Chains A and B, each alone.
Chain A
Amino acid sequence: MRGAPATMTVLRPRSAAEALRLYASNPEAIPLAGGTDFMVGWNAGQANGLTILDLAAARSWTHIEATKAAVTIGALATHAEIQRDKHVRRHLPLLVAACGTVGGLQIQNRGTLGGNIANASPAGDTFPPLAVYEATIEIASARGRRRVAFGSIFAGVKKTVLGPGELIEAIHVPIPRTPSRQLWRKVGTRAAQAISKTMVAGLLWLGRDGTVTELRFALGSMAPTVRRLSKAEAFVEGKRLSREVIHEACALMKQDVAPIDDMRSTAEYRLAVSQNLLAGFLTRQT
């Protein structure tokens, strides 16, 4: 263990409002939510001497609320709390499924949705569901608030569009109309507590005539950031899902993703699996 506690400066605001004020005057501070990612690097000695903004007391950001139109999840709600929430369970099942695979139970009891997003890993488990649910990120700072569409929150690997002094306050998820089909699947390095090689979230609405009203399909771990398959989605709209249409949609996938070879997997495998999962989703009856 190479972390040196004595070298750390810890700012401990007693509320969300105070956190924003402290962050404004200490923009170099590192905001700490559940710490499940940051502390790994800290244990390895990579963060000694830094200033931490401890968000643990910002209790107002842990609540989950729902209206008829949307579920609003506080940035500091943990993955475990999100899975237990009755509104999320009823309306956002893909998010429940994703939260259930973020690490193991211990990580889920500490890791937060806001922290997950701010960390901006290409492999963030909650990102494909948030992408197809078309969430909005509510950002707060000492200067005020703004909203960013989830699809625009990431700037690259481990980079968001958050500016100095800005923190994620809540994630606003509109409740989708009931889909004809939905899918969430993570293909990881093992059955539990795994980093994904690829993962998919899909929502499909079919008209009464069997043609596609709307397809939303997102992939994680297939590019520096989560990707919606905009080309495939546009292509299938209005069409019947014949074998040829499905085959073309899968081919179009290649234009919207950029899988890599790394120590976990290969680009070839990732693409093949992603295409199979899209094909399977578009083919099946349920």
Chain B
Amino acid sequence: MVHVVGTSARRKEGPEKLAGHARYVDDYRIPGCLHGVTLRSSIAHGRIRRVALDPAFAWGEFVVATAADIPGQNVVSLIEEDQPLLADGEVRHALEPIALVAHADRARAYQALEHIQVEYEPLEPVLAPEQSERLFKSFLIERGDVAAGLAAADLVVEGEYLLPHQEHAYIENNGAACWFEGDGTLVVLASMQCPYYVHKAMKPLFDLPGHKIRVIQAVTGGGFGGKEEYPNLIAGHAALLARKAGRPVKIVYDRHEDMLATTKRHPARIRHRTGVKRDGRLVAQDIEILMDGGAYLTLSPVVLSRATLHATGPYDCPNVRIRSRVVATNTPPNGAFRGFGAPQTLFAAELHMERVAEAIGLDPVAIRRKNVLRVGSALAVGQVLHESVGAEAALEECVKRSHFKEKRREYARWNWRTDQPTWRGIGLALVHHGSGFTGSGELYLASKAAVALTRAGEIRVLSASTEFGQGTNTMFAQLAADSLGVPFEWISVETPDTSRVPDSGPTVASRTCMVVGRLVQSAALQLKDALLREHGHVPHSLPRLREAARRLCGDDAERRFEAQYERPAGMQWDDQTYRGDAYEAYSYAAVAVDLEVDKATWEVTLARVIAVQDIGTPINPLLAEGQVIGGTAQALGYALLEAPVYKDGVMLNAQLTNYIIPTALDTPEMEIAFVGAPYSNGPFGAKGVGELPMDAPPPAVAAAIHNATGLWITELPILPERLAAADRRRQAPRARR
């Protein structure tokens, strides 16, 4: 019986956060702890000739570490091992870490950095991906015959779309504290999304076996992918200093350093050549993708993979060719960011769909209805969608709630008048987003989660999935409570600590509910079985629960029930041919953006956003809505405000004063709705929700701006300067510049 799933149960760790008692990494008072700071490269590419400590400086009171101090391998473990923990010999990007300094006084530690001189032999940097000759990864996906499709088309429409970097701008900067226990165990306490990634990364650095490394997640102030892989690096740094100092070391970045040095969203250039029939049917999609990975591989192959697999948009087209590449440049490595490649290619796909619609004279809703994925549709990689395809339902609901057609007519009349101070427009976009790791990814992860009953009668969820605002703790407790048939208040979720929790895989890829939640559900059902066998029924009161717990546990402190990932029946994927079921399930969204453009200043004011999602079952409507509104705000920032400015491979506007994220006055009121049927293999019918909200708003904004002004702006962000320049070019095409 379902009691709390589907309700807006209270955030489990809410009271602690609201009381100001939640402890983020910089809130911990660790006795004897030193502050660690990082010396970074000032050039984008070069060889290190010398790292010289000023002999006149009082180095005796400091701890200094370089690559030479690494007992194991100088490597940041991720997909490949191409990134050093500390640059040794060659620097491949500006801000690359070279040395570390620790001191009890943070200001003093920073002061010491000014007394270290690095001599470089500069090398020519490659700063533009178009000029790179170092390929990280490429993909080719083909379906049918794209040349024949283009030939058979009534019209071929081309377009090029440019996406910039994006900075996560979590309000809590990256930070990690490390120390070694008496028995040599390395303890890491950090702001992070993936404790087991950090756990794995510490092993080769310090030549330690797994059981001698303990990674604990501190309460984490926002992630968005920016704390998926980056903590491997900062934790490695803190641990290295701690090892040399023989004391705990905490490294917490200030905003400027975090923006300068940590990962960003991959910039992309995407080209579309689309063949379409007069009736609006797509007959060919020829797509080229070029992404900039920065100096090291990090997660670029997987980002490119997801970008490639979403590049067509949520449409069924018989002839498809997607050629994608991610290359190296001498810029700080790019990494995971909510959406993970899909926001880039879906921007291109959806804005291109608008241009195709205009070219053949079909309205944006009609062309999407003509091509949208349905149950039974096949994707370019061969996957057939057997169930839970709410794209059309989302589209129809979005069109209805936004009064799309009426507004288009109303705004056409408004824009026809020359005496209005603004243009008005409404635009929409339709997207899909695969839940879980791509292809065989979940199989390789082989994630586990557990539910434990302690001798004292506490029911605890144990997983490595981290809470960083999305609602992991609350959602897991809801799933466990209803699976067991006990009150929500009886369930607690343990802090992810690798000495306690199994490896549930990373908290990324919109997998936490659908994949790990399913494991939590499964483990809870095992506990339920045990209680039924032992007790005849699930205890109705806490005293009875404690009795049952004492009997079940005997002399043990707890009884654990663990579940491990099993690939859904019938799902298959071939890594070699890159064909099969790319994702277990897809979530869908349709978003309409209603906006105004000021004719005097070209400023864009958002009037309203209507976002409709198919995520199967929203386990907690308030939290799900929170994910959608928050993700939409972040996507609106990407679309209109956020522009990292680079010179010589260094971000110039690395402060919150100059990297512009939305304030409460920049985000409009949003109407959020959920549609679609429960997904049969999701826990209580749930699919993923975390990343989906990033995908549709940017192309919807661009479509609305086109509707308002008649201008196609195909590069993000759509700054007033870009609109103004396009508008003025249009007004005076032959004027001398």
For the complex formed, measure the closest distance between the CB of B25 and the CB atoms of chain A, giving whole angstroms: 15
Q: A276 with B600: in contact, given A45-B110, A192-B666 (CB under 8 Å)?
A: yes
For the complex formed, measure the closest distance between the CB of B159 and the CB atoms of chain A, giving whole angstroms: 25
User: In the bound complex, do residue A269 and residue B107 qualify as a contact, i.e. CB atoms below 8 Å apart?
Assistant: no
User: In the bound complex, do residue A266 and residue B256 qualify as a contact, i.e. CB atoms below 8 Å apart?
Assistant: no
Is B108 located at the chain interface by the 8 A CB criterion?
Answer: yes
Chain A interface, DSSP helix/strand/loop, else mixed? loop
Interface string of B84-108 (1 = CB under 8 A from A): 0000000000000000000001111
User: In the bound complex, do residue B641 and residue A190 qualify as a contact, i.e. CB atoms below 8 Å apart?
Assistant: yes
For the complex formed, measure the closest distance between the CB of A249 and the CB atoms of chain B, giving whole angstroms: 15
Tell me the bound Cα distance from A193 to B664 in angstroms. 10
Residue of B nearest to A5 (CB): B107
Contact of A45 among B107, B599, B645 (CB under 8 A): B107
Contacts of B605 in A (CB 8 A): 191
Contacts of A191 in B (CB 8 A): 605, 663, 665-666
Interface string of B655-672 (1 = CB under 8 A from A): 001101011111000000
User: In the bound complex, do residue B111 and residue A269 qualify as a contact, i.e. CB atoms below 8 Å apart?
Assistant: no
Interface string of A253-286 (1 = CB under 8 A from B): 0000000000111101100110011001000000
For the complex formed, measure the closest distance between the CB of A17 and the CB atoms of chain B, giving whole angstroms: 34
Of B75-83, B352-360, B515-523, B718-726, which stretch is located at the interface? B718-726
Is A231 located at the chain interface by the 8 A CB criterion?
Answer: no
Is B454 located at the chain interface by the 8 A CB criterion?
Answer: no
Is B572 located at the chain interface by the 8 A CB criterion?
Answer: no
Q: A273 with B600: in contact, given A44-B256, A191-B665 (CB under 8 Å)?
A: yes
Is B532 located at the chain interface by the 8 A CB criterion?
Answer: no
Tell me the bound Cα distance from A263 to B658 in angstroms. 8
User: In the bound complex, do residue B107 and residue A4 qualify as a contact, i.e. CB atoms below 8 Å apart?
Assistant: yes
Chain B interface, DSSP helix/strand/loop, else mixed? loop
Q: A2 with B657: in contact, given A269-B721, A272-B728 (CB under 8 Å)?
A: no
Tell me the bound Cα distance from A192 to B662 in angstroms. 9
Tell me the bound Cα distance from A3 to B106 in angstroms. 9
User: In the bound complex, do residue B107 and residue A277 qualify as a contact, i.e. CB atoms below 8 Å apart?
Assistant: no
What number of B residues sit within 8 Å (CB to CB) of A? 32
Tell me the bound Cα distance from A155 to B36 in angstroms. 42
Is A242 located at the chain interface by the 8 A CB criterion?
Answer: no
Interface string of B688-702 (1 = CB under 8 A from A): 000000000000000
Chain A interface category by residue count: 20 to 34
Residue of B nearest to A278 (CB): B600
Tell me the bound Cα distance from A268 to B728 in angstroms. 10
User: In the bound complex, do residue B721 and residue A190 qualify as a contact, i.e. CB atoms below 8 Å apart?
Assistant: no
Contacts of B254 in A (CB 8 A): 1-2, 43
Is B601 located at the chain interface by the 8 A CB criterion?
Answer: yes
**CB under 8 Å from chain B, chain A span 98-119:** 104
Contacts of B601 in A (CB 8 A): 187, 273, 276-277
For the complex formed, measure the closest distance between the CB of B624 and the CB atoms of chain A, giving whole angstroms: 27
Is A94 located at the chain interface by the 8 A CB criterion?
Answer: no
Contact of A192 among B665, B724, B728 (CB under 8 A): B665
User: In the bound complex, do residue B720 and residue A195 qualify as a contact, i.e. CB atoms below 8 Å apart?
Assistant: no
**CB under 8 Å from chain A, chain B span 492-550:** none
Is A230 located at the chain interface by the 8 A CB criterion?
Answer: no
Is B140 located at the chain interface by the 8 A CB criterion?
Answer: no
Q: A192 with B664: in contact, given A3-B107, A44-B256, A280-B600 (CB under 8 Å)?
A: yes
Is A189 located at the chain interface by the 8 A CB criterion?
Answer: yes
Residue of A nearest to B645 (CB): A263
Q: A272 with B724: in contact, given A3-B107, A48-B107, A187-B603 (CB under 8 Å)?
A: yes
Contacts of A44 in B (CB 8 A): 256
Tell me the bound Cα distance from A194 to B666 in angstroms. 11
